[in-house]
Amino acid sequence: MRIAIASGKGGTGKTIVSTNLALAAAQRSLRVTYLDCDVEEPNGHLFLKPFITSSRTIGQFHPEVDQEMCTHCGLCGEFCQYSAIVCIGEKVLVYPELCHACGGCALVCPADAITETMHKTGKIESGMAGAIRFIQGRLHVGQALSTPLIRQLKAQAGHNDLVILDCPPGTSCPVMESVRGADLVLLVTEPTPFGLNDLRLAVEMLASLNLPLAVVINRAGTSDQKTQAFCHHQGIPIWAQIPDDRRVAQAYSRGELARDSVPEFRAAMEQILDHLSHLGQNDPLPERALAHL
Ligand code: SF4
Ligand code: SF4
């Protein structure tokens, strides 16, 4: 079972929930994989403290044009569906950020002026955090496109009982790429006007993917009514409310898992796992995924 943990904005506690949930599930003897898809700023490792055993550089092929061999026929630009290569007068310009690395322009070039060269985009690191299989992506500084790296990161997820995808914040393409193919998206929000606004945006964004949604309210307190009303109106279940507790913030600032020191937080994680278990019993999910729940 793949669960994407997302939020409409940063700072809602998405990584706290993801890492603590991974540990809670592992302590129920589930085989768990934690994937940090927030490749621009992965920080799950600060809490899970994995032992990294492998690091692989990831790159993408882009065309490179030998301007001396080029006859300026313009065929490459006509072929490219993404306007990633354009012939203007006696110059051929390449826009790597638009390129999908299909290799077509090199094939159609009658002068053999195009070669494909590898550009490093980031790396994928994997290892173990106790019993949890840990995988994270790191986008190279200056790289604009994170979605290809996220795609390659997700390809490493494997088939453990529970795969937790810790998504980037926001509502843009990297989030869409991270949640694609998940069995469920757990949206972490906070009961503030900003939190509610961004929750709305996230729900709108995810509507097009038609994925099951559930909400976790972090820093829950007396001002949750509007968030609850919104979820009720949208028919989105609230699976847990994590109390606004100073000890959670203290654990966070020390890079510790709040689950270990705050019983209410631990109870919230158990609640989420129980919901997952019930969901699995009602839906045709792989039986193996629920064997230990
Ligand atoms: S490799 Fe494909 S996408 Fe990239 S520039 Fe060439 S034709 Fe366009
Ligand atoms: S197809 Fe080849 S020869 Fe023609 S413009 Fe492009 S690079 Fe130059």
Ligand 1 atom closest to 104 (CA): 7
The answer to whether residues 109 and 249 belong to one domain is: no
> 263 in ligand 1 pocket by Cβ < 6 Å?
no
Of 72, 100, 120, the domain-final residue? 120
41, part of any domain: no
Q: What would the pLDDT profile of 103-144 be if each residue is shown by its tens digit?
A: 899 999 999 999 988 888 899 999 999 999 999 999 988 777
CA-nearest residue, atom 4 of ligand 2: 73
The total number of residues written for the chain in this structure: 293
> 92 in ligand 2 pocket by Cβ < 6 Å?
yes
The answer to whether residues 165 and 255 belong to one domain is: yes
Q: What would the pLDDT profile of 16-29 be if each residue is shown by its tens digit?
A: 999 999 999 999 99
- The boundaries of the domain holding residue 21 are 2-31+160-290
274, part of any domain: yes
45, part of any domain: no
What is the distance between the alpha carbons of residues 59 and 139, in angstroms, rounded to a whole number?
A: 10
The kind and range of the H/E element at 68 are: none
> 87 in ligand 2 pocket by Cβ < 6 Å?
yes
Q: 77 CA distance to ligand 1 centroid (A)?
A: 9
Q: 85 CA distance to ligand 2 centroid (A)?
A: 10
Report which of 226, 178, 162 is spatially closest to residue 34, judged by C-alpha positions.
162
Q: 95 CA distance to ligand 2 centroid (A)?
A: 15
The answer to whether residues 239 and 174 belong to one domain is: yes
Ligand nearest to the CA of 72: 2
> 86 in ligand 2 pocket by Cβ < 6 Å?
no
Q: Which pLDDT band holds residue 222 (cuts at 50, 70, 90)?
A: low
The answer to whether residues 71 and 211 belong to one domain is: no
Of 120, 152, 170, the domain-final residue? 120
116, part of any domain: yes
CA-nearest residue, atom 6 of ligand 2: 76
The answer to whether residues 22 and 67 belong to one domain is: no
The kind and range of the H/E element at 281 are: helix 263-282
**Non-local CB neighbours of 248 within 8 Å, separated by 6+ positions:** 16, 242, 258, 262, 265
Of 120, 137, 171, the domain-final residue? 120
CB 280 within 8 A of CB 288: no
> 262 in ligand 2 pocket by Cβ < 6 Å?
no
The answer to whether residues 182 and 240 belong to one domain is: yes
Ligand nearest to the CA of 68: 2
CA-nearest residue, atom 8 of ligand 1: 80
- Give residue 256's pLDDT: 79
CA 105 to chain CA centroid, Å, is 31
**Non-local CB neighbours of 117 within 8 Å, separated by 6+ positions:** 61, 62, 63, 64
Q: Which pLDDT band holds residue 282 (cuts at 50, 70, 90)?
A: low
23, part of any domain: yes
- Give residue 66's pLDDT: 94
Q: What would the pLDDT profile of 164-174 be if each residue is shown by its tens digit?
A: 999 998 878 88
Say what the pTM is. 0.81
Structure tokens at 16: 């706290």
Ligand nearest to the CA of 76: 2
CB 48 within 8 A of CB 180: no
The answer to whether residues 201 and 104 belong to one domain is: no
The answer to whether residues 164 and 278 belong to one domain is: yes
Q: Can you give the CATH number for the domain in which 210 is found?
A: 3.40.50.300
Q: Can you give the CATH number for the domain in which 106 is found?
A: 3.30.70.20
CA distances from 190 to 179, 222, 286 (A): 20, 12, 32
93, part of any domain: yes
Q: What would the pLDDT profile of 58-90 be if each residue is shown by its tens digit?
A: 888 889 999 999 999 999 999 999 999 999 988
- % of residues, the chain, pLDDT over 90: 52
> 67 in ligand 2 pocket by Cβ < 6 Å?
no
> 70 in ligand 2 pocket by Cβ < 6 Å?
yes
164, part of any domain: yes
Ligand 2 atom closest to 85 (CA): 6
Ligand 2 atom closest to 87 (CA): 5
Instruction: Specify the number of domains making up the chain.
Output: 2
What is the distance between the alpha carbons of residues 7 and 14, in angstroms, rounded to a whole number?
A: 7
Mean of the pLDDT values across residues 219-248? 85
Task: Report residue 119: phi and psi, to 5°.
Answer: -115, 125
End-to-end CA distance of the chain: 12
Q: Which pLDDT band holds residue 292 (cuts at 50, 70, 90)?
A: very low
Structure tokens at 64: 């490179």
The answer to whether residues 184 and 259 belong to one domain is: yes
26, part of any domain: yes
